[in-house]
Amino acid sequence: MSRCVSVLGSTGSIGRQSLEVMAACGMTAAALTANRDAARMEGQVRAFRPKLAAMMDPAAAADLRLRLADTSVRVAEGMEGLMEAASLPEADTVITAVMGIVGLRPTLAAIRQGKRIALANKETLVCAGELVMEEAARWGAEIIPVDSEHSAIFQSLQGCRDRGEVKRLILTASGGPFFGYTREQLVHVTLSQALKHPNWSMGAKITIDSATLMNKGLEFIEAMRLYHMPPEKISIVIHRESIVHSLVEYCDNAMIAQLGTADMRLPIQYALTWPERTAGPARALDLLSCPPLTFAQPDYGAFPCLSLALSAARTGGTATAILNGANEAAVARFLAEEIPFGRIAELVERALEQVPAVPSPTLEDILAADEAARAVAMK
C-alpha cells in the first residue's frame, strides 16, 4: 500500500500509533507536526525523513531546528506551519490527530486539496460538521473516521448501497472509570481517578471526556455529521468490555457490528488502506478468552455532559461549537486542578445558556461561538 501521509499531531497517542501503522504498512511521511515535544519529534523525523516538520510552539520549533541541523528537513512553526503541513502537495492523505478546535482550519485546508482525511480530531466535525462535509463533497475529499466507534460504523456500512436501509446507528460506550457512580458520588472524584480509563490508553483530554461521557456526546454529534443521520436515528449503549466497537441496525432488523481488541491501530490502518485491508500490527481478538458481552442504558442523570451534548445536537448551528469550546476550557481547568469534576458540566451548561446559538453558521460564526463559550467557561 503506497501512501504518502502527513500526520498532524504525530507525537500524541494517535499520532504515534499512526506512525507504527505506517511503518508496518510501508507508507511514507510527507510532513509531521506536533505541539511542543521536540525531542520525540526529532526521533520521528529521523525515522521517517519527512520533507517538513512543524511545531506549534515557536520555542520548540527553534529547539527542533538545532536538533535537525544535520538534516535537510525543514522546520516550520505555529498555525502557519500546521496549515502548510496539511496542504503539502506530496501527501495524498492527512491524519488529523491534533487535539481540539485547532484542527479545524488545517483539516479544511487539506480538504480543499482533495486529500483523503483520516479524521482523528472529533472537534472538527462537532464544531463545523456541516461546513466540513459540504467542503469535502465539493472538493471530492474522502473523510474516513479514525475514532473507533465511527470506524466500526464505517466498516459496518460497507456494502450498504442505500442509506435509506439504515434504521439506526448504535454507538457503544465503555462507560469510563465512573460507570455505576451516582451524581453525588461523582462530586468527589479526583483527577487521578478520572485519568484511569478501564479499557483504552489515550491522551488526557479525551480520557477526561470519557469519564464525564462528554466523549460519547461528541461522538454522537460526529456520527450525525459523518453519516448524515438525524439524532433520533442514533442510539448510545454502554458496553463495558469495549469489544463491540459500534453497530448499524438495518431496516430488516439485521445488526452489523465490528468487533476487535481495544487497539486504535486497527481503525487508523483501515482509514489509510480503505477500501483494501492489509495485515497489520493491531492485536487479534481471541473470542474464546473474551469476557461475556454486556449492554446497558447510559445514566443520563449522573452524567449531565451526555445530556447537554445531545441537546446541543438537536439545537444544531453553533450550539455544538459552544458545547465543545466550553468543554475544552473546562477540561483544561479540571486538568490544572482549578475546578472539581462536577463543575465541568456546570460550565458547559452555563455557556449553552449564555451564548446564543446561530443557525447555518459560517467558519467565522463557529470560531466566534467557540471563543465566547471559552470565555464563559474560564470565569
- Number of helices and strands (H, E) in the chain? 16, 11
- Least separation in angstroms between residue 204's CB and Mg ion is 15
Taking the C-alpha atoms of residue 160 and residue 195, their distance in angstroms, rounded to an integer, is: 38
Closest to 369 in 3D by CA, of 315, 333, 331, 332: 315
Residue (84 or 149) nearer to Mg ion, CB: 149
Nearest approach in angstroms of CB 80 to Mg ion is 30
Q: Are 119 and 143 in contact (CB under 8 A)?
A: yes
Of 68 and 152, the one with the shorter C-beta distance to Mg ion is 152
Q: Which residue is nearest to Mg ion (CB)?
A: 147
Alpha carbon dihedral 289, 290, 291, 293, in 10-degree steps, equals: -160
CB of 162 to Mg ion, least distance (A): 27
* Shortest separation between residue 98's beta carbon and Mg ion, angstroms: 16
Tell me whether residue 13 or residue 87 sits nearer to Mg ion (CB atom).
13
- 123, 324 in Cβ contact below 8 A? yes
SS3 content of the chain, % helix, strand, coil (to 5): 50, 15, 35
Nearest to Mg ion of 173, 373 (CB atom): 173
Pick 53 or 234: Cβ nearer Mg ion? 234
Question: What's the Cα-to-Cα distance from 142 to each of 93, 94, 139, 192, 318, rounded to whole Å?
Answer: 9, 10, 9, 38, 24
Least gap, CB of 148 to Mg ion (angstroms): 5
Quick one: 19 or 236, whose CB is closer to Mg ion? 236
Phi (first) and psi of residue 244, to 5 degrees: -85, 115
Binding site for Mg ion (CB under 5 A): 147-149
User: What distance in Å separates the CA atoms of residue 321 and residue 319, rounded to the nearest whole number?
Assistant: 5
Q: Supply the minimum distance, in Å, between the C-beta of residue 123 and Mg ion.
A: 13
